[in-house]
Amino acid sequence: MAFRHAEDPHITSDNWIHAGVLVLNASYEALTEINAERAVVLLLSGTAETVSDRRPEFPIRSKHVEIALPETIRLTRYVYLEHRVLVHDESRATLPAVLRRDRYRCGYCSGWARTVDHIRPRSRGGPNTWANLIAACGPCNSRKADRTPEEAGMRLLWEPKAPDELAKRQRQIWKDLAAAG
Ligand SMILES: [Zn+2]
pLDDT of res. 3: 39
pLDDT of res. 9: 60
Give 128 Cα–ligand 1 centroid separation in angstroms.
20
Give CA–CA dist 52/172, Å, rounded: 13
pLDDT of res. 96: 87
Residue 3, amino acid: F
pLDDT of res. 33: 78
Strands (E), 54-179: 59-61, 66-68, 70-75, 115-118, 133-136
pLDDT of res. 81: 64
Give 90 Cα–ligand 1 centroid separation in angstroms.
24
Mean pLDDT of 60-66: 84
Give 115 Cα–ligand 1 centroid separation in angstroms.
10
Which one is predicted more confidently, 161 or 2?
161
Per residue in 111-148, pLDDT tens?
999 999 999 999 999 999 999 999 999 999 999 999 99
Which one is predicted more confidently, 41 or 175?
41
Per residue in 138-169, pLDDT tens?
999 999 999 999 999 999 999 999 887 767 77
Positive or negative CA dihedral for 69, 167, 42, 35? positive
Contact call for residues 98 and 116 (beta carbons, < 8 A): yes
pLDDT of res. 1: 36
Contact call for residues 116 and 133 (beta carbons, < 8 A): yes
Give CA–CA dist 160/72, Å, rounded: 29
DSSP string, 19-61: SEEEEE-TTS-EEEEEEHHHHHHHHHTTSEEEEEE-SS--EEE
Mean pLDDT of 47-76: 91
Neighbour-count burial for 65-78, b at 16+ CB within 10 Å, e otherwise? eeeebbbbbbbeee
Give 13 Cα–ligand 1 centroid separation in angstroms.
47
Give 145 Cα–ligand 1 centroid separation in angstroms.
12
Per residue in 5-61, pLDDT tens?
444 568 888 889 888 888 898 988 887 778 899 999 999 999 999 999 998 899 998
Please identify every residue whose CB atom is under 5 Å from ligand 1, which is an ion: 106, 108-109, 111, 137, 140
Domains of the chain, residue spans:
5-85+165-180, 95-152
